[in-house]
Chains A and B, each alone.
Chain A
């Protein structure tokens, strides 16, 4: 590939102008539109997290009133889950990479892809309108009957925002499934697909099967609130627990919408930084599908204390533990991939290693919570908060950041500051652990979640947690600085800065509008690093010579 990649016309250059961007059908541009939008929502969600951590510095509720605190953790959850985590990897890295990894020019339905971004923006504007009108206080879970009967806040609009954003997620998943089935380049068989595509395919299945259920659940909630059609209202005989079943039928699989793409990114990064075929390719591929399928059978573990029968609870408890099997298959296979690989300590490596540590802790503490007897003690404590932040932030966001660092040169054609990126990964890792590890102890000691005040003896651990959050914030602000700087002054990226395998590294950085100059024909399996322990003799490792 030509080292003067930036001088040629890329998808970033033509067609020119704002209208061309806002009406684009190019999957790469839509990925960039998504990247900008989710970054905005990440910042908004982060502001609410800041408010929460400031309040919890002291035992007395002296910073936020109880009502405001309720709104803060609700808005933090709604924004981070529906408007950041769910679209994060699929809509940015997935949108950008899936057509390229499939060796095709675009997703199967480019116009629907653009529609998905607009739906996301409309849903997001509704969420922002909720903020402007005073927020919502139900928790992101919208539990009835509080949400349908009692809450005086903007529940309907918030539910509408999540509903609309849900459709953007459905359209993304729908597009990916058809693309993977019907658009693969000649020679690109299922078992030659990069594992990121497998993971995104599994994610898409969850998206199309789960999201419609939350859509109808929120519709029923809105109908009850606005039209008085009582579905969950105990006065007319409705059962609020039915809402919890329907809600978690989506929202538990939604956890896998958030983490499976991160696992896909990890498979790519582990192979890329180790220059080695992923250990047990087909096991890693099928474990994604296994997680997607088992993920639909475990929602009852959110209802251990919601009047669910003990027998149902037992079954859900056992099935929940089964999720650990495919997750462990992945983790062990990544470790086995790195073993005797040619690992170099470049910035993506730092995120990879960070992910593996944090995800393991998050996954193992998930087993504690899956055990029904233990969960009755730990339910609704900070142990739960710590557990899912280890998965969501320590897992999904670490992987997202790692993926962003790995593919940033491809997406923008620019190299960023390596020392800055390493500093960011280290700060995030340290800050994250300092923020959330004390919360495991707090939960074990019995501190309940969702209160704005707490007994004095919990203060030391809460101060540690808030201190960690400030380090975490710096860790997330750094990339904003060096990524922005790289766009302005960054060195031009070669086609393959990491010496990695994969179709995306065979085209220019940034890619031309139709991804490849010639039609792609695939003749080799994924991650075909030969010979395995030798660093490939790729050209164009400008700026990143690494030592052996």
Chain B
């Protein structure tokens, strides 16, 4: 199929094998799937938007609780994850580029790197979550915040409203992590397709569209990191 990258115009030319029956041309198909992903991302923005609305409301109601609870999050692990995701967006963009210029090896290498970076993010997140369990920072009847001071757990008195901070922390980062899992699954599919040489300069829509999704999930984290982690950093104690 790589040998017929441009025979896509009109009903009379030879159809690209990846052209679905209800589209006129490959470019119409690509435009439709790209617009589709953008529209889908709009729904995702609204989905996360509800959470951000709750965040804004409660931060306004409980500014002290927000600041002091934020101080109990691990800025260094959060920062590491931010870097990991930004690099993964670069490798993702390189994978799309590789598909556009027809480099199979470039796609495979960059997709594997993207998947590895995404998995690193989740592993770091796992260690962060475990620490929150150890420190009794899980909202609910057993909420008894502690802070680690030179290896020992010390009780911390947090202001009223801090349970909501941690509820939002877990829901926001949890839903974000769920999107990461979906993204990694998507990338595995794209990797298999790239491995089989399905993409060419005439047909790279799936790589580009999955890439849009990946960048979106990345961007959500770029907002979550300062809102959750950096808010109480100036209080020190790290």
Contacts and interface: CB of A to CB of B under 8 A. Distances in A.
Contacts of B51: 216, 220
B42 interface: yes
Contact of A228 (B23, B57, B139): B139
B101 to A, nearest CB: 25
Interface in A192-216: 208-213, 215-216
29 contacts: A105-B21, A108-B32, A108-B36, A170-B43, A177-B35, A178-B32, A183-B23, A212-B44, A212-B47, A213-B47, A213-B50, A215-B50, A216-B47, A220-B171, A228-B139, A228-B140, A229-B167, A229-B170, A230-B164, A231-B164, A231-B168, A236-B161, A237-B62, A237-B65, A239-B58, A239-B61, A242-B54, A242-B57, A246-B53
A110 B22 contact: yes
A299 to B, nearest CB: 12
A212 B22 contact: no
A24 B96 CA distance: 32
A181 to B, nearest CB: 6
Given A174-B43, A177-B39, A220 B54 contact: yes
A223 B178 CA distance: 15
Nearest to A27: B22
Nearest to A109: B36
A66 interface: no
Given A215-B47, A237-B160, A239-B61, A174 B54 contact: no
A223 B43 contact: no
B31 interface: yes
B235 to A, nearest CB: 20
A182 interface: yes
* Interface of B, helix, strand, loop or mixed by DSSP: helix
Given A213-B50, A228-B140, A105 B164 contact: no
Contacts of B23: 183
Contacts, number: 117
B32 A208 contact: no
A237 B163 contact: yes
Nearest to B174: A223
A116 interface: no
A220 to B, nearest CB: 7
Interface string B156-168: 0000110110011
B35 A178 contact: yes
Nearest to B161: A237
A217 interface: yes
A104 interface: yes
A228 B141 contact: yes
B40 A237 contact: no
Given A213-B50, A216-B51, A223 B171 contact: yes
Given A178-B32, A208-B43, A212-B44, A105 B22 contact: yes
Interface of A: 99, 104-110, 170, 174, 177-178, 181-183, 208-213, 215-217, 219-220, 223, 227-231, 236-239, 242, 245-246, 249, 514, 519
A293 to B, nearest CB: 15
3 closest Cβ contacts across the A-B interface? Answer: A216-B50, A212-B47, A228-B140
A178 B39 contact: yes
B5 interface: no
B163 A236 contact: yes
Contacts of A213: 46-47, 49-50
A174 B139 contact: no
A28 to B, nearest CB: 13
Interface of B: 11, 21-23, 28, 31-32, 35-36, 39-40, 42-44, 46-51, 53-54, 57-58, 61-62, 65, 139-141, 160-161, 163-164, 167-168, 170-171, 175
A519 B164 CA distance: 58
Nearest to A182: B32
A108 to B, nearest CB: 5
Contact of B40 (A106, A174, A227): A174
B50 A183 contact: no
Nearest to A235: B163
Contacts of B175: 219
A211 B47 CA distance: 8
B169 to A, nearest CB: 10
Contacts of B141: 228
A212 B51 CA distance: 11
B173 to A, nearest CB: 12
Given A174-B39, A237-B161, A230 B167 contact: yes
B164 A237 contact: yes
Which of B36, B48, B51, B175 has the most chain A CB atoms inside 10 A of its CB?
Answer: B36
Given A106-B22, A212-B50, A229-B170, 19 more contacts: A105-B21, A174-B43, A178-B32, A178-B36, A183-B32, A212-B44, A212-B47, A212-B49, A215-B47, A216-B49, A228-B139, A228-B140, A229-B139, A230-B167, A231-B164, A237-B164, A239-B61, A242-B57, A519-B11
Contacts of A181: 35
A452 B164 CA distance: 37
Contacts of A110: 22
B55 to A, nearest CB: 10
Contact of A211 (B11, B39, B43): B43
A107 B11 CA distance: 19
Contacts of A108: 22, 32, 36
A379 B99 CA distance: 59
Contacts of B160: 237
Contacts of B139: 228-230, 236
Contacts of B164: 230-231, 236-238
Contacts of A105: 21-22
A15 to B, nearest CB: 14
Contacts of B46: 208-213
A228 B168 CA distance: 12
A123 B225 CA distance: 34
A208 B39 contact: yes
Contacts of A99: 22
B198 to A, nearest CB: 17
A183 to B, nearest CB: 7
B35 A104 contact: no
